[in-house]
Structure 1
Amino acid sequence: MLPRDVRPGVLHLLDRLDDTPAMVCSAARDILAWNAMAAALLGDFSASPPAERNFVCRFFTDPAARALYEPSDQEAFARRAVADLRSAAARYPADSGVRRLVDRLHADSAEFRELWARQDVEVRRSTRKRILHPVVGPLDLDCEALHDPHRDQWTIFYTAAPGTPSHSALRLLKVVGSQDLAARH
């Protein structure tokens, strides 16, 4: 069974990082904890019930979540996400949550079914991503993933090199937060 509780020290660290988007994910990419900057960057995870807070599921079933990624990066992200989920499914074959997630994605996404059939297995580590934020614009971010092997959880930090437009955009995102700035008529 995948552990869902996050160590208190990690939760404290998330709260202290007020200028860096950060979150904790399970091996199956369930989003277990996050800070305000992660919600501002990637969306308010608390708006979804805990069973719906999964990075892979959001990507394959929610057009708004998918739109955060550069179109040219979506295929590579999809391939890596499925290979990573396959790795978690292999480590936790008796986990009912992982089985339900895979079954749901099989039912909801032809793209997922095609990628799952390839049987690729991978554990993602740190990477570089381009996020297309609807308010602050495109951000080129380094995603550092730190692994807690005892809980098989990943703490993911999104950072930008100082002095870059992406760093300035993250600073603006800290001010804007997750406010809806759309004009109302």
Structure 2
Amino acid sequence: MDRQELADFLRSRRERITPADVGLPAGPRRRTPGLRREEAAQLAYISTEYYTRLEQARGPRPSREVLAGLVRALRLSDAERDHLHHLAGAPPGPAPGPSREVRPSILDLLRRLPQAAAIVTSATCEVIAWNDLAAALMEDFSALSRRDRNLIRRAFLGPRVHGRRLYGVSDADEFARSSAQDLRAAAARYPDDPEVRELVRELLDGSEEFAWLWAAHDVARQPVMCKTFQHPMVGPVTVNCDVLDITDRDQRVVIYTATPGSPSEEALRLLSVIGTQRMDVTR
């Protein structure tokens, strides 16, 4: 354990975070940049005294639970998390859970695709980023809770409209099967993550189909390259589906594009203008 380097690193990470970044009021007479020590300690669920000793290079070797709290409180990147573990003399193990932090460059990519619908999904198929056209084609994800943005949960347990599941997409059954396989692989990568365990338990309890697929122990998936969405306003929209893996975050960018000159391309153009408004609903 390198106490002095650990102390300097913690201090530098704490000072770069503003109270607004973590939902705390700035308050009067704030004389130090970033968070106060007591605020960082509170966010990490450790005592202020313990955190102060760490920053003064006087603290004992922190446990992995304390390190996990510091990673969360100081908003460390994956590389910074690994560095923190090495400084503390506890080489990093597997990530405790699926990453939900999307790189700014990926968010910028989504914004630069005005003619394509694009989403980013986590290892458990939670939609964690999207562009405006994806919201218009699929659903206004900003109006949903984290729980309802999980496509695996929606595929097996979500509402069905006119007997169709998952936005009436043509490969809904294939997606359900492949998502069950993906979740089994993710559960093996994150065996200690409570959200992954809870999702699996909920699906096993609520869906006989999922329970049957889970018991098969399959982890291979067959990507679907073309699919059709049944949109309530513009009708069927057939799109090509391309998936880009972000391996360091265990995430995927899913991009939907229509064939140039096709009716579906015109439908996407219309959706880009309409957005998420629902003209088919009488208020």
TM-score (ref. length: structure 2): 0.61
Conserved 8 A contact 1:79-1:115? yes
Mark the runs of 5 or more structure 2 residues left unpaired by the alignment. Answer: 1-96
Given the alignment of the two structures, is residue 33 of structure 1 paired with residue 33 of structure 2, yes or no?
A: no
Conserved 8 A contact 1:126-1:145? no
Of residues 12, 21, 30, the one that matches 2:117 is 21
> For residue 140 of structure 2, what is the amino acid of its counterpart?
D
Matches within 5 A, 1:131-142: 131-142=229-240
Q: CA deviation at 1:51?
A: 3.2
**Counterpart-to-counterpart distance in 1, 2:245 and 2:274:** 30
Q: Runs of 4 or more off by more than 3 Å in structure 1?
A: 123-126
Q: CA deviation at 1:93?
A: 1.7
Q: Secondary structure at the match of 2:115?
A: coil
- CA 1:126–1:75 in 2, change beyond 3 Å: closer, same or farther? closer
Matches within 5 A, 1:1-185: 1-62=97-158, 63-64=160-161, 65-70=165-170, 73-123=171-221, 125=223, 127-184=225-282
Mark the runs of 5 or more structure 1 residues left unpaired by the alignment. Answer: none
What RMSD in Å do the two structures reach over aligned CA positions? 1.8
Q: CA deviation at 1:136?
A: 1.1
| Matched residues, number | 183
Counting strand residues as a fraction of each chain, which structure ranks higher? 1
> For residue 252 of structure 2, what is the amino acid of its counterpart?
W
Conserved 8 A contact 1:129-1:143? yes
TM-score (ref. length: structure 1): 0.90
Conserved 8 A contact 2:155-2:172? no
Q: CA deviation at 1:122?
A: 2.2
Q: Secondary structure at the match of 2:102?
A: coil
**Counterpart-to-counterpart distance in 2, 1:135 and 1:172:** 10
- Identical positions, percent: 44
> For residue 205 of structure 2, what is the amino acid of its counterpart?
A
Structure-1 residue corresponding to 2:35: none
**Counterpart-to-counterpart distance in 1, 2:177 and 2:223:** 14
- CA 1:183–1:29 in 2, change beyond 3 Å: closer, same or farther? closer
Deviations 1:156-184 (A, max 9, x none): 10011101121111111111111111152
- CA 1:41–1:179 in 2, change beyond 3 Å: closer, same or farther? same
